[in-house]
Structures are given as structure tokens and as C-alpha cells.
Amino acid sequence: LFEQVQLAPPDPILGTALAYKADTSKDKMNLGVGAYRDDNEKPYPFKVVRKVESQIVNDHSIDKEYLPIDGLAQFNAAAQQLIFGKDSSAVKEGRVITSQAISGTGALRIGFEFLAKFYNREVLVSNPTWGNHHDIIKCSGLNFKQYRYYNPKNMSLDFNGMFTDISMAKPGSIVLLHACAHNPTGLDLTEDQWKRLAGLFKQNRLFPFFDSAYQGFATGDLNRDAYSIRLFTELGFQLIVTQSFAKNMGLYSDRIGAFHLVCANKETAAKCLSQLKLVIRPMYSNPPAHGARIATKILTDPALYNEWMEELSMVSKRIIDMRTALKNELVRLEVPGNWNHIVTQIGMFSYTGLTPEQCDILINKYHIYLLKNGRISMCGITTKNVGYLAAAIKDAVVS
């Protein structure tokens, strides 16, 4: 029956974790998937998460009933406040609908499914973008085009290219934007550039779709990292936000995120929520509760929130330290090229500028797993392996 089925290639991102696991070299490095590691290359479950989890496990008043289709109401309210701010007029006016989602990917998927049903327009995505964006959009039945984002010549943001390409989109097009800590480039717009972009969106009646997977990882300040979303919302745009707690709470496997739709008014919002539930119900019925309970407690208890903030800043500081360490080591080894971008890029990743051939050398000769587009997760770098990585990059670059 299934003999004609072809073997599919491994996932370009998640596949690197499997290849790393299967590798028996003592020198191996896991720079593929964007998941935080400590200075001993070990996953780091947040202490505040562990604490809240033990409270949940010991609370026998918590049952295992189904959640509503749109998830835990308290979580939705807390997630809304985190991303739109506690003074958001759109939230106060009841124009924002929120549904708990199966992390960022699940939120993206229900978002594009909803758009395919009710706002079937061409989608524009940055070149490059997170690889899974392409597949999610295609699976939802929409088509996408790319807008320029990255200038490989000087490894910087190509804002003029981005602006020009978006200005040529058909009026009403959906434009996917990374709210902060752009994946994979680590290059974000300045506040002034966001304002100019908002003007263009107004003029051409474009629909903003913000993917927010790294709030807290760009500037270290949750409010500043939500700047773009809050700007567009306050300017009166109807828009979508997909939000993930995988990175900023380290809740990767709990699959906890949210989908938000800002509508023109409360009445439309209520109708859209009823339709969103019809999108979700045949897909997965309703979301799992555990991650939502953890995130809700952390977001709504001031003491736990502060503990979370401390850990989040510790985590982002280690990433920044590793940027400096890697750049210094590359300079010390006199590796040809300019490595400044390693420290100026932000978020979890560095878009190194290494070619696919150079990446192959790192993978095959040095057991250093990274993406073929040259993206490395800074989280896999430690004070102990940074020297090995820099030497391997040198070999790859001069080969």
C-alpha cells in the first residue's frame, strides 16, 4: 500500500539534535536547535518552573478535566497582558481575542488556518526566516513571497530592501514579521524603522502578523521586546500575534503559547473567537493544561514573576557573554573576516555568514552541529568549548 512513499529528509533544525545525539565524539557541539544550555552544555529547566510544578503536583484540587477549546482563561489573560502591556487600550476595549496554543508553531498554524478561511491573501515572509514558517503557511493552503531582510555583503539588516519589497506587495497582503530577536539573523529594526514600516502598512493597508518567540531575549526587557507589537496595536492596526513560552520560560516540551487577534471592535472579536474554535476543535480539540498552569502562576504571582525575571536575565547574560567570548577567540586566532556581527546580533542565534561548504566541514570534521545556512545557537557554546569552535571555524574558513 505504501511502497511508493519516499523517505523524507530529516528536519533541518530538529534533525541536528538527533544527529548530535547519535554522534559519539567527545568533542561534539550542539549548535543547531535554539534551546538554552548552561555552561556545562546541559539543558536548564528554570528553578521557578520546578518550584511551581511541585506546587501543581501537590495541589489535589487540580483535576484532569478538559480545558475549553481556547484553553485556560487565566493564562490567556496573563499572556495578553505580557505581550500587549497592562495598559493596552485594545485589550481594555475587548477587541483582542486570545487562545492558548500548542506553543509558537501551534499558534502560527491556527493563525494561518484562520486566515486561509477568512482572509485568504498572499503572505510575505522575510528572506531568510525560520524554516518552519514556509511549511506552516503552505500547509494552511496560503502562498508566500519573500521580502529582502538581510544583506550578506555587510551582514546587516537590509531595511531599504525590506521597505521596497513590502511596498510592492498587493494592498491587503499579510506580512509576517518577527517581533524581536529575528530568527535566524539576530537583526532587528530600530524603533524608528518600525515606525516607518507602520506608516507603509497604513498606506498600503497591509495586515501585520507578528511572531513573538523570543520576548525577553532581544533587549533583556520584556516590554521593550514587545515594542513593535505595541506600536502597531496602539496605531489601530488589526493584527495577529503568535506567542511562545518555550524559550523565555524554558517550557520547550510543555508546548505552551498563545494566539492573539486584534479586531476592529468587540462584536467582531466575539465572532472571530467563535470561528477560531471551529478551526481548533478538529485539529486537536483543546490544549494541554500543564504548561498553561505553570505560566499562569509565574505571570500572576509577583514573587514568582521576579524570580523568573532574575533567571531570564541570567540566561540572556550567558548568551551575550558567549558572543563576546567567541568573537574574541576568532580575533585572537586571526580568523580571516570581520566577526563584529557575532556581538552585534541579538537573541539566541548568530547568523555567522559561514557557507554551506564551511558548515559541512564543521559538522563532518569537527562534530559541530549547526544549520546549513550558517546559523548557530549561541546557547550551545560554553567557556570550555568556545576555543574548539573558534579553531574549527578557522580551519573551515581557511580551507
Nearer to ligand LMR, 14 or 168 (CB): 14
Shortest reach from residue 20's CB to ligand LMR, in Å: 13
Query: Is 297 marked active-site?
Result: no
From the candidates 70, 165, 247, 297, which is the catalytic residue? Answer: 247
CB nearer to ligand LMR: give 132 or 373.
Answer: 132
Tell me if residue 138 is catalytic: no
Binding mask 24-43 for ligand LMR (x = CB under 6 A): ---------xx---------
Cβ at position 97, least distance to ligand LMR in Å: 25
Q: How far is the CB of 247 from ligand LMR (least distance, A)?
A: 8
- For residues 275 to 314, the per-residue mask of contacts with ligand LMR, x marking binding by CB under 6 A and - elsewhere, is ----------------------------------------
DSSP 8-state assignment for residue 281: H
DSSP code at position 140: T
Q: Based on the residue annotation, tell me whether 247 is a catalytic residue of this protein.
A: yes
Smallest distance, ligand LMR to C-beta of residue 132, A: 6
Annotated catalytic residue within 70, 158, 188, 211: 211
Judged by beta carbon, residue 34 or residue 291, the one nearer ligand LMR is 34
Residue 161 CB, nearest approach to ligand LMR (Å): 23
Rule CB under 6 A: say whether 79 interacts with ligand LMR: no
The nearest distance, CB 130 to ligand LMR, in angstroms, is: 5
- Using the minimum distance from each CB to ligand LMR, give the nearer residue, 33 or 169: 33
Kindly identify the residues of this chain, within the stretch 152-211, that bind ligand LMR according to CB under 6 A: 183
Which is closer to ligand LMR, CB of 198 or CB of 258?
258
C-alpha cell at 76: 490567556
Closer Cβ to ligand LMR, 136 or 197, answer by number: 136
- Catalytic residue, from 70, 130, 327, 339: name it: 130
Instruction: Looking at residues 127 to 156 of the shown chain, list those that interact with ligand LMR (rule: CB under 6 A).
Output: 130, 132
CA distance 396 to 355: 9
What is the smallest separation between the CB atom of 272 and ligand LMR, expressed in angstroms? Answer: 27
Please identify, using beta-carbon distances, which residue of 237 and 349 lies nearer to ligand LMR. Answer: 349
Among 13, 82, 102, 322, binds ligand LMR (CB under 6 A): 13
| Secondary structure of the chain as H, E, C letters | CCCCCCCCCCCCCHHHHHHHHHCCCCCCEECCCCCCECCCCCECCCHHHHHHHHHHHHCCCCCCCCCCCCCCHHHHHHHHHHHHCCCCHHHHCCCEEEEEEEHHHHHHHHHHHHHHHHCCCCEEEEECCCHHHHHHHHHCCCCEEEEECEECCCCEECHHHHHHHHHCCCCCCEEEEECCCCCCCCCCCCHHHHHHHHHHHHHCCCEEEEEECCCCCCCCCCCHHHHHHHHHHHCCCCEEEEEECCCCCCCHHHCEEEEEEECCCHHHHHHHHHHHHHHHHHHHCCCCCHHHHHHHHHHHCHHHHHHHHHHHHHHHHHHHHHHHHHHHHHHHCCCCCCCCHHHHCCCCEEECCCCHHHHHHHHHHHCEECCCCCEEEHHHCCCCCHHHHHHHHHHHHHC
- Binding stretches for ligand LMR (CB under 6 A): 13, 33-34, 130, 132, 183
Q: Where in the sequence numbering do the catalytic residues fall? A: 130, 211, 247
